[in-house]
Every structure is written in structure tokens, then in C-alpha cells.
């Protein structure tokens, strides 16, 4: 998202425990099985992959060592081969205004580079013959006309830099404005797998420079719109008799709504009814008035990962791109996948 903050899933490993054998040896201390001794574990544990090793194998490299992407352009309806570094400026221009503080632009560039590599390693483009596209439904915003010298500088200054989350490429989530606190993936995105270890609920760091429409919002919907969105989100009901917040998550975001007594995923409902109208699930109130539903809330976006307006404020305060990114993502390091 641009200027007003326009604005994916690795599971944390679960530890398993065993229990001591019983029977004839019940009175004796349990001994570790040979394969579970510290020495054996040290021998068999896989080493953490370096950042350079995280580049998807299916991408070929150009003469300068930078991976090449087959990008489907929805405007020209053609597949074009671009290096990752040549592809990124248009993405950065689509996601953040070119006159923003340089360190905020650099932070966004690191996330954008991580995003595309993670996408290629985990998914297939909806367009045949492409690694990724300029279609916002599957990838990031893309605005070649918005590229300026500062955006090129931010991409060049972070050349090859991506996030490494314990030997894996994380989902480089970001949003426009957190409304005060960021969210973990299960809360903000209704993420169904185990919560990634790098998500966290922290201060969004936004300041008064964020536009009012990003920080606070109000929207109203007809009963028909609400019923249609609820159906798309997986819950059908004949009429709208009531609506309220069901459960809330750690950051205060609604994780479920109760619509005519039925529980509906709040993130799914938000997407169904229009994420530019219901700008977040951080609801302050939800009421029925004269047959319409009126919502008031804070923030803009799902709230997971980096707040763009928070990055803006941190950069103004003198924070570096690395300090910005590591504020929002826990336990990650930033390193070069290529130079």
C-alpha cells in the first residue's frame, strides 16, 4: 500500500516427550535410547541453512549471480525475465511512497526480497510459465511508473539482503498501520498451522504522522452485505438478527464475530466484506443501527509483521532498516543471499 500504508507461513517445531518404561525396570532410572543421547543428536542434527542456501534451486542465476525470475505482467499479458534486483524497484514503488525515509524504504525492500524468494520456494504462480506475477491476488503491488532514484537507492543498498528465520525463509508479512499493537499470524490472519516462531505482538511504533484514516476508521454495511460476507466466510443464516465480537486475540483484535448467533472468522469476514472498508479486525465497536451494521476500529491491515507507518516513524527517529525489521520479527537475522 502506498502513502496511507497499502499493504505469508512456517510452523514452529513441536517438542515431543517420551515417558520412562515401566515393569521390571520400574525402580531403575530411565536411560536414554542410543539415538537420543546428546552425542548422537549432535551427529545427526541438520545444520541451519545459510542465507545463501535459502535461494530456491529452481531459479537460475544471471552473470552477476543474482537469481532470475519469470514475471507475468498482468498489464502486458507477457512473461518477462527479470533478475530479482531488477524486479524489486517496481514492487517497492507499489508498496511504499518514494519520498518516505530511506531506512523505511530499505526495510520494505528487505521484506519484498524475502517475500518473492519465499513465494517461489513454496508456491506456484497462477500464471503458466511464470515464477511470480504482478497480480496483487498472489504477489505484491507493482508500480513501474512510481520508481524513482530513492527507491532504486534503497534496493541497491540492500542488494541480496533477506531474512533468515532459523534456516528458513519466513513469511515477510507487513501491513499499513497496527492500531497500536501488531498481531501474531493466528490472530491477524486466521493462520491454521502452528504459530511461526518469528511473529510477535509488539508496539506498532506509529506516530502522529500517520493519516487519520489509517489510524482510525468507521464503516457501515447493509444487512445484505453482512449476510453475503458471512456466507463467503463459511457461515450462512437467513437473516441478520444480531452481530457482535465473539473472541479477541492477544492484541485485542477480533478473531471471531457472532453473526445471528453463529461464529464467523473475523479475518475471513473482513476479506469477504472488503478490506479497504473494514480496515482491520481491531474493532472498538460494532452495532446495528436502522438495519445497517456500523463498525469502528483502529489500524489498517491484518496487523501481522511490520507496520509500514511504524517503519516510517522509526526511520524518522534514526533507526536503521535492520533495527526496524527485527523490532517486528523475532529471532530473525538479516544476511546476504548474494552480493
Q: Which residue has the cell 452481530?
A: 243
pTM of the model: 0.85
Confidence of residue 46 (pLDDT cuts 50, 70, 90): low
Within a domain: 43: no
For residue 103, give Cα distances in angstroms to 4, 13, 99, 150.
18, 33, 11, 11
Domain count, the chain: 2
Is the pLDDT assigned to residue 152 strictly greater than 50? yes
Short-list 145, 89, 160, CA closest to 335: 160
Within a domain: 31: no
Within a domain: 191: yes
Within a domain: 41: no
Q: Do 184 and 112 fall within a single domain?
A: no
Are 306 and 110 a contacting pair, CB within 8 Å? no
Q: Which residue has the cell 531459479?
A: 59
Is the pLDDT assigned to residue 36 strictly greater than 50? no
Rounded CA-CA distance 172/176 in Å is 14
Q: Do 182 and 300 fall within a single domain?
A: yes
Within a domain: 136: yes
Rounded CA-CA distance 179/192 in Å is 24
The range of the structural domain enclosing residue 75 comes to: 52-173+321-336
Within a domain: 144: yes
Q: Do 182 and 297 fall within a single domain?
A: yes
Q: Do 269 and 326 fall within a single domain?
A: no
Is the pLDDT assigned to residue 29 strictly greater than 80? no
Per this entry, what is the length of the chain?
Answer: 339
Confidence of residue 45 (pLDDT cuts 50, 70, 90): low
Q: Do 146 and 190 fall within a single domain?
A: no
For residue 187, give Cα distances in angstroms to 190, 201, 312.
6, 10, 24
Q: Do 87 and 182 fall within a single domain?
A: no
Q: Do 223 and 161 fall within a single domain?
A: no
For residue 36, give Cα distances in angstroms to 46, 132, 166, 226.
15, 42, 22, 54
Short-list 85, 189, 161, 179, CA closest to 326: 161
Is the pLDDT assigned to residue 306 strictly greater than 60? yes
Lowest mean pLDDT among 7-21, 236-250, 265-279: 7-21
Q: Do 166 and 251 fall within a single domain?
A: no
Is the pLDDT assigned to residue 236 strictly greater than 90? yes
| Res 47: pLDDT | 78
Number of CB atoms found within 10 A of residue 296's CB:
14
| Burial (Cβ within 10 Å: 0-12, 13-18, ≥19) of residue 23 | exposed
Q: Do 294 and 215 fall within a single domain?
A: yes
**DSSP one-letter code for 25:** T
Q: DSSP labels for 71-95?
A: EEETTTTEEEEEEHHHHHHHHHHHH
Within a domain: 5: no
Residue 207 φ/ψ region, left for φ over 0, alpha for ψ in the -120 to 50 degree band, beta for the rest:
beta
Q: Do 163 and 182 fall within a single domain?
A: no
Within a domain: 331: yes
Q: Do 235 and 193 fall within a single domain?
A: yes
Q: Do 84 and 116 fall within a single domain?
A: yes
Is the pLDDT assigned to residue 31 strictly greater than 50? no
Amino acid at each position: 500500500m502506498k502513502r496511507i500504508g497499502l499493504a505469508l507461513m512456517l510452523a514452529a517445531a513441536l517438542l515431543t516427550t517420551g515417558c520412562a518404561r515401566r515393569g521390571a525396570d520400574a525402580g531403575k532410572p530411565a536411560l536414554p535410547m542410543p539415538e537420543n543421547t546428546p552425542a548422537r543428536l549432535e551427529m545427526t542434527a541438520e545444520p541451519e541453512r545459510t542465507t545463501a542456501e535459502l535461494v530456491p534451486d529452481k531459479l537460475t542465476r544471471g552473470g552477476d549471480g543474482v537469481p532470475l525470475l519469470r514475471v507475468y505482467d498482468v498489464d502486458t499479458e507477457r512473461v518477462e525475465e527479470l533478475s530479482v534486483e531488477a524486479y524489486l524497484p517496481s514492487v517497492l514503488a507499489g508498496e511504499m511512497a518514494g519520498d518516505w525515509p530511506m531506512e523505511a524504504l530499505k526495510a520494505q525492500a528487505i521484506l519484498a526480497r524475502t517475500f518473492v524468494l519465499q513465494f517461489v520456494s513454496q508456491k506456484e504462480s497462477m500464471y503458466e510459465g511464470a515464477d511470480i506475477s504482478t497480480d496483487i491476488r498472489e504477489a505484491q503491488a507493482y508500480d513501474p511508473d512510481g520508481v524513482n532514484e530513492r527507491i532504486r537507492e534503497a534496493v541497491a543498498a540492500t542488494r541480496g539482503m533477506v531474512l533468515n528465520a532459523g534456516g528458513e525463509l519466513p513469511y515477510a508479512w507487513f501491513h499499513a498501520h497496527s492500531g497500536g499493537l501488531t498481531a501474531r499470524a493466528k490472530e491477524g490472519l486466521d493462520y491454521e498451522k502452528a504459530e511461526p516462531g518469528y511473529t510477535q505482538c509488539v508496539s506498532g511504533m506509529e506516530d502522529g504522522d500517520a493519516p487519520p484514516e489509517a489510524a482510525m476508521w468507521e464503516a457501515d454495511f447493509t444487512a445484505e452485505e453482512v449476510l453475503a460476507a458471512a456466507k463467503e466466510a463459511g457461515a450462512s443464516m437467513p437473516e441478520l438478527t444480531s452481530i457482535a465480537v465473539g473472541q479477541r486475540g492477544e492484541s485485542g483484535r477480533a478473531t471471531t464475530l457472532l453473526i445471528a448467533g453463529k461464529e464467523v472468522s473475523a479475518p475471513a469476514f473482513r476479506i469477504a466484506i472488503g478490506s479497504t472498508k473494514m480496515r482491520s479486525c481491531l474493532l472498538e465497536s460494532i452495532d446495528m443501527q436502522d438495519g445497517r451494521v456500523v463498525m469502528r476500529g483502529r489500524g489498517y491491515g491484518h496487523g501481522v509483521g511490520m507496520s509500514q507507518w511504524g517503519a516510517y516513524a522509526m526511520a524518522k527517529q534514526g533507526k536503521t532498516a535492520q533495527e526496524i525489521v527485527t523490532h517486528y520479527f523475532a529471532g530473525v537475522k538479516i544476511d546476504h543471499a548474494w552480493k
